[in-house]
Structure 1
């Protein structure tokens, strides 16, 4: 078994080449109230990638997603999202970027007092003007698109249901249907299965990956359930204490790496069940020598 010092040397893996970057982060840091949340992040995400982001609580995963979606701007450094420097975007240009980046949150995905059809069609707001958006609240616009999206997530009979009538897994499916009608170029899912059991979580991750493939979209998922890493992701990026800790393929993850990454959380998360005990590659992303 390798010791912690040897693991510390194996933080990075070669990033994809030959594809257009949908995100590029150069020396990015973000502080709140003078306290650093992210620091020295250099990262590229290529078009069409399937990337899982992991790390312990407070590692900065959600803050990273907010930077990528231009909800937050970096305190220092530069975030390029779909070729645009997010620090310089205002007004219509910022709305266009957010239209092209679909976000699925852990909680509060749906507006509880609106029917499923209206929640699904919220994905079109970035494409409609104000008048059509308001009209759709009374007379749903593009109803065939909403029906087709619900059919795609296996909820064809829930068009006129209220969110409170649905299970947690069904609500996440409605939120994915909203992404389908939005048709974003990038999908960001922030802990989308943290409140679901493993079986439902696997279904939701598989559905997200399938939708991303159908749309030709890049997919990034903040994932706390590490059992779901190995089926749908090309690359795993690990954050710890606001810094890029490690990146590589799911198969390169070992118990030693997870112990160092999660520290005291390791035992509570039962991570011994996630991977077999094998050494970390000498350089992450390359086979052990």
Structure 2
């Protein structure tokens, strides 16, 4: 299985990530404990998506250490790496569903980490463990869409199907990379609240790369702000000030209409 390391669900120690001459992440050190709900924010090009890829062991650090679920990701290969990824559920902003497969098949893809290749192939014709797909879709209030094609669903419904797939997967941690950036604020709030509810019911750790700052309050315990590949600030949503956002986002501040974002009132 590879060496274990102590610490939280995620522990970064002086982690760097470069692509050629471009240094995308620089000297990141922080820890995320089991059960935390953390939002990651920052301007375009801050390195948020690259950070999520490091945490999910899709990428390995150029230097420093990234420990995920007690494993040093640099040292993992083969089956050990596969088992680690099995315990990490990832939700993206788009391309979540395979368009030519019905909803039931997309949901059951959450079981691929546990099935043999033969069983996965059989499931394309005769869906295996159908009860799991039905129960998961019931949880996201889409039970009637079991046999639909993804193209028949709205954007918000497609994200709910992707969340149903996570429910079926039963991961230990969920990473959502800008999952609501293409939805309006009402649907975005529904998806974020659903993710938080699922994380609570599964006893999971949840990290969300969030572009819509209106959704921070009431959903997350901690915010990590990245700028130019480094940690610019971290703390509770209630500690975020207008001045902090102006400094963090710079030229993007006005383009994102952050003057209109209500800030949480501190007691």
The alpha carbon displacement at 1:43 in A equals: 1.0
2:196 is aligned with 1:209? yes
Find the counterpart in structure 1 of residue 82 from structure 2: 95
Find the counterpart in structure 2 of residue 72 from structure 1: 59
Find the counterpart in structure 2 of residue 199 from structure 1: 186
Identify unmatched segments of 5+ residues in structure 2.
1-5
Report 1:82-231 matches (<5 A).
Answer: 82-231=69-218
2:230 is aligned with 1:243? yes
SS in 1 for 2:144: coil
Q: What is the root-mean-square deviation of aligned Cα atoms in Å?
A: 1.5
Moved over 4 A (4+): none
So what's the TM-score if we normalise by structure 2? 0.96
Q: Deviations over 1:42-71 (max 9, x none)?
A: 010000000000000000000000000000
Separation of aligned partners in 2, 1:34 and 1:126: 35
Q: Deviations over 1:65-99 (max 9, x none)?
A: 00000000000000000000001111111111001
Find the counterpart in structure 2 of residue 271 from structure 1: 258
Distance change >3 Å, CA 276–CA 166, structure 1 → 2 = closer
The alpha carbon displacement at 1:103 in A equals: 0.1
The alpha carbon displacement at 1:20 in A equals: 5.8
Separation of aligned partners in 1, 2:110 and 2:91: 11
Residues 15 and 63 in structure 2, CA contact (< 8 A), matched pair in contact too: yes
Q: Deviations over 1:239-267 (max 9, x none)?
A: 00000110000000000000000000001
Report 1:253-268 matches (<5 A).
Answer: 253-268=240-255
Residues 255 and 275 in structure 1, CA contact (< 8 A), matched pair in contact too: no
Identify unmatched segments of 5+ residues in structure 1.
1-18, 279-286
The alpha carbon displacement at 1:107 in A equals: 1.1
The alpha carbon displacement at 1:275 in A equals: 3.7
Find the counterpart in structure 1 of residue 3 from structure 2: none
